[in-house]
Copies of this chain bind each other. A is one copy, B any other.
Amino acid sequence: MTPALASPDIGRVFHALGDPTRRAILDRLVEGPSSVSRLAEPLGVTVTAIGQHLQVLEETGFVRTRKLGRVRSCSLDLAGFRTVEQWAADHRALWTGRMDRLGDLLAEDDDG
């Protein structure tokens, strides 16, 4: 629904992906949903730290969580991923288009 450039904060999205622990969480969630403590286990950090990362990942659309009993189940959310893809699509036209035109211009200097 939200059009490409209306993406609220692409900076927060990139910032979220800039952290190795958060990327590790996402890698783990590709395998399927997980609880907070099971996410923490292999990463060598406390569950508190994971909770903080999860908040960032939720706010940026990479993770969705739901609390069932005392366990919080975390799963991938594709919204954040689509934000990145949309950014790439927008900037592909902008960046490569401009670069191609530059190439055209430089190649055409025999055409007065």
Spell out A's residues near B (CB within 8 Å): 10-11, 14-15, 17-20, 23, 30-32, 75-76, 78, 81, 84-85, 87-88, 91-92, 94-96, 98-99, 102
Asked whether, in the complex, the Cβ of A17 is within 8 Å of the Cβ of B14, the reply is yes
Cβ of A10: which chain B residues have Cβ within 8 Å of it? 17, 23
Tell me what chain A mostly uses at the interface: helix, strand, loop, or mixed.
helix
Question: Complex: how many Å from CA A98 to CA B15?
Answer: 24
Contact across chains for B92 and A85 when beta carbons are under 8 A apart = yes
Contact A84 B88 (CB under 8 A): yes
**Do B84 and A84 touch across chains, with their CB atoms under 8 A apart?**
yes
Q: List the 4 closest A-B pairs by CB distance, nearest first.
A: A15-B18, A14-B17, A14-B18, A14-B14
